Structure 1
Amino acid sequence: MKKNVLCLALASLGVASTWAVEPAKINWSKVPETNITLFYPGQSSYEWLRSAGHEGAGRQVQRGDACVACHDEPGGEKDMGDKLVKAGPLEPTPVAGKNGHVDLKVQAAFDDKNAYLRFQWKTANAFPGSEHQYLRFDGHEWKVYGYPKLDKVVQEGQQPGIYEDRMSVMIDDGKVPAFAKQGCWLTCHDGQRDMPKQFTKEEVAANPLLTAIKKSDVRKYLPDTRTDPSDWKTGKSVEDIAKIKAAGGFLDLIQWRAHRSHAVGMADDGYVLEWRLGDAGKDPFGGNADAKTHEPKFMWDEKKVGYKSITADQLRKADHFLIREQNAVPFDPKAGWKEGDLIPDYVLSREDAKGSAADNNAIASWKDGQWTVVMIRPLGLGNDDDKALKSGGVYNVGFAVHDDNITTRGHFVSYVRTLGLGAKGVKVDIDAVKLP
C-alpha cells in the first residue's frame, strides 16, 4: 500500500499525526443519506434461527427465506433490539442500562481510485469510546486492566468495563451462499465466544481444523467450511477451504477501531471464512505485553508527552494512544513504577502496517456525542483475501457498531443492504455518488 505523508494534524486525537490520509474533496451535504436502524441481536445464532425457538420461523430460515421476509414492519428493528437487550432466552447476562438499538446514517461516494463510506451515529456515553484495555502495575507485576462489559469479571465488579468503539462492514459480491438473504447470521454460531455452548480449551485443542490454522478459540465462520454447518467442530480440510476461498466464497470484513486504528488514520482489513481472519501482512496495531515477562514493550515518551504512564482517574479525560513512531519509547523496568500505573496493552504503528491488511484508510472524529467515520477503500484490489470493489458493481453489505465498552454479541447489527457504485438499471439501498 502506498503511504502518503501529508503532515495533516488530527486535532481531534490529541496527537500530531503525520500519517493522516488526505480526505477527498467531498461535499457530503449533497450525498444522499440512508438511515438504518441497527439492533442488539443477543445470542440469536445461525443455529437458533433454524430452530423451533425462532417463533415458528425456523423452517423458513432453513429453506433460505430472507430475514426481512418476516421482519419488514416499520420500526421493527428498534422494537426487537429493545426487547432482546433485556434478560431473556437470548440474553442470559444483560448489561445494565444498555440501549437496544442505534440509528446509523450511511453515505457513499467513489472516484476513479477509491470508495468512500461515511457513517454517523450517537454514542451511549458522553465521551468517545477510544480507550482500550491497559497493563496495570500492581506493585509487583503488570496485569491486564479493563475488559468488555459482557465479561464475567466486569459484571461481578472485579474489573472496569473498558473497550473501544468500532464500526464494521461485511461485504459480499454475491459469491457467499445465502448472505444476501440472511446476512451476518451466517457467521455467528453456537460455540463461539459469549454464545451458547461456548467452546472449551480442551475442545479447541482437540479440533483438527483449529489446530491446523493455529487458533486457540472459536470465532465467526461460514457454514460452507463445516461438514455440518451447525457444528463448529466439523471443519472441512484446509485444502477444501482453500478452494472455497479461491472461488471467492468468503466475506470481506473492514473494521474501524476507535483505539487500535483511529489514531493512525486506518481501518483494518480482514475476512470471514473458517474463522475471523486478518488479511495477509500486518495490522496497524500489536500487543504491547512481552510474552515472557508480561511487562510492557513500550511506554510513553515522557519528554514528548509529559508522562510515562497514566492512572485510572485520568481515563476518558484525554486521548491515550501509544504510537511507536510518535510518542513511544522502549519500556524501562527501572523507571520507578508505582502501584496503579497504566500503560496501553496495544501499541500502534502506521509504518509497520503492511500488505493486504493495510489496504484501508479512515478519517474519524467525535463531536457532540456523535462519531463520524469515513472509510476509504481502494477500488480494484487484486489480493486473494479482498473483495474487489469496482465502478458499476453491486454488493451485499452488513453493518455493525460496537458501543459502550463491549464486544462479541454485544454489538448492534443490521439486516443486509445493497450497495451500488454507479450501478445502472439496478435498484440499491445505498447508491454511491460518482465524484468528479
Structure 2
Amino acid sequence: MNRTALTALMVLASTPAFALDWSDVPAKEVVLFYPGQSSLEWVLSGDHGGAPKVKNGKACKECHLGEEKDMGATLVSGAKNEPAPMAGKPAFIPATVRVAQENGRLLVRLEFKEGAQPDSKMDPDFATKVTMMLDDGTLPEATQAGCWGTCHEDAAKMPAGGTGERTKYLNRSRAKPSRQGAGDELVAAAELEKMRASGQVMEFWQARLKPGMAAVAASGTIFDKRMETKPSAVTAEASSNGDAWTVTLSRPLSAPAPYKSIETGKTYTVGFAIHAGHTARRFHYVSLEHSLALDKGDADLIAVKK
C-alpha cells in the first residue's frame, strides 16, 4: 500500500461511529450458538446427517435457522463434537443486529448479553471479542456456509489440529483437501496470486473488548491463513453495563485492497462470532450465514442511509 493510500485509510478509520442515531434503524435478532468442533469437513461428512443436502448446494440456514439454541445446548454439553466442555458455559447468545450507512461508511451494531461466562483464561488481554466476516459473493463456500467456509478439522484446537497453531483458511488455497483438513501444502504460487488478486478472500472485522477500556479494532482477510491488515480500515466502539454490550464496527464502503468494495445493488454474506469469558480460537459463539445489502432488497440485513 503506498503512502497516500495509507494516510487516507488512517483518516477514514478515525471517523467516530457512535454519533449516528440508531433509534429508527431496523433490528434483527441473530442467535449465535456454541459450535464445538464442528468443522467444514464434519459438515460434509457422513457424520452430519445433512451432508448430502450441503453437497447438493443447500445452505446451512435453509435447514438450521431457528435451531441455533438447541444446537448450542447439545454441543456445549459435550454430548456431540466437544471433548472439552466448559462447566457453566451458556449455550447461545442472542444478539440484536442493526446495519446502517453514513458518510460513505458501513456501520454494524450488535447489542447482546453474554450471560454468566466461566473464565477460560485463554486470552489474558481481552474478555470479549466480537467478529464479523464478510464476502461479496466471490466465495460460494461463504454464501452456502458462512464462517464454516474457513473452519477446518486441522486448525488449532480442532480434532486433527494437534498442538499446532494453524489458523483459519480457505480450501481453495490448498493442494490436498481431505476429511482431516487440507494441511499446509498450497496450490502453485501463481494460482494463489491469481485468486488473491481476484478477491477470493474472506474479510473479517473485529472488536477486542475489556470492560472499562476503549475497544481495540482489528481487521484483515482469510485466504491461505488468517492475516491481519495494518493499519485497520475498521473502527470499533463499545460500551458495557454488566454482561450487556453494545458494539459498533464500521469501515468505509470503499477501501484499498485487500478490503472488498461494498456497493449498492450487490448482496453480501456476513457471519458473526463472539468470544466471551476470555476464550480464544474455536471456543466462541457463531451465527449461521446471513445476507446483507445496501439501501433495499431481500437481504436479511439492509443498511439504511442516515
Contact 1:163 1:407 in 2 (8 A): no
Partner of residue 148 from structure 2, selected from 171, 185, 193: 185
Partner of residue 217 from structure 2, selected from 248, 267, 270: 267
TM alignment of 1:20-59, pairs within 5 A? 21-23=15-17, 25-55=19-49, 57-59=50-52
CA distance in 1, matches of 2:303, 2:140: 25
* Corresponding residue SS for 2:78: coil
Moved over 4 A (4+): 262-266
Contact 1:148 1:162 in 2 (8 A): no
TM alignment of 1:62-77, pairs within 5 A? 62-72=55-65, 74=66, 76-77=67-68
CA distance in 1, matches of 2:255, 2:243: 35
TM alignment of 1:186-265, pairs within 5 A? 186-200=149-163, 217-230=165-178, 231-259=182-210, 263=213
Report the counterpart of residue 304 of structure 1 in structure 2.
none
Provide Cα deviations, 1:145-172, integer angstroms capped at 9, x if missing partner: x8418xxxxxxxxxxx775301100000
Q: Structure 1 residues 60 and 86, CA, compared in 2 at 3 Å: closer, same or farther?
A: same
Provide Cα deviations, 1:13-59, integer angstroms capped at 9, x if missing partner: xxxxxx9853454221111101011111101101111111113x222
CA distance in 1, matches of 2:198, 2:293: 22
| 1:104 aligned partner, one-letter code | A
Question: Within the alignment, does 1:411 sit opposite 2:284 as a pair?
Answer: yes
TM alignment of 1:23-422, pairs within 5 A? 23=17, 25-55=19-49, 57-72=50-65, 74=66, 76-125=67-116, 147-148=121-122, 163-200=126-163, 217-230=165-178, 231-259=182-210, 263=213, 266-279=216-229, 281=230, 354=231, 358-383=232-257, 385-422=258-295
Identical aligned residues as a percent: 32
CA distance in 1, matches of 2:25, 2:102: 13
* Corresponding residue SS for 1:408: coil
| 1:268 aligned partner, one-letter code | A
CA distance in 1, matches of 2:73, 2:142: 25
Deviation at 1:381, TM superposition (A): 0.9
Report the counterpart of residue 433 of structure 1 in structure 2.
304
* Corresponding residue SS for 1:178: helix
* Corresponding residue SS for 2:155: coil
Report the counterpart of residue 5 of structure 2 in structure 1.
none
Name stretches of at least 5 consecutive residues in structure 2 with no aligned partner: 1-8
| 2:82 aligned partner, one-letter code | E
Contact 2:100 2:303 in 1 (8 A): yes
CA distance in 2, matches of 1:192, 1:234: 14
CA distance in 2, matches of 1:23, 1:85: 34
Provide Cα deviations, 1:165-203, integer angstroms capped at 9, x if missing partner: 0110000000012211111111111111110011455xx
Report the counterpart of residue 351 of structure 1 in structure 2.
none
Q: Structure 1 residues 25 and 405, CA, compared in 2 at 3 Å: closer, same or farther?
A: closer
CA distance in 1, matches of 2:237, 2:150: 28
Instruction: Specify the structure having the higher radius of gyration (Cα).
Output: 1
* Corresponding residue SS for 1:409: coil
CA distance in 1, matches of 2:68, 2:214: 34
Q: Structure 1 residues 178 and 65, CA, compared in 2 at 3 Å: closer, same or farther?
A: same
Provide Cα deviations, 1:333-359, integer angstroms capped at 9, x if missing partner: xxxxxxxxxxxxxxxxxxxxx3xxx21
Q: Structure 1 residues 48 and 371, CA, compared in 2 at 3 Å: closer, same or farther?
A: same
Q: Structure 1 residues 116 and 393, CA, compared in 2 at 3 Å: closer, same or farther?
A: same
* Corresponding residue SS for 2:23: helix
| 2:29 aligned partner, one-letter code | N
* TM-score, structure 2 normalization: 0.88
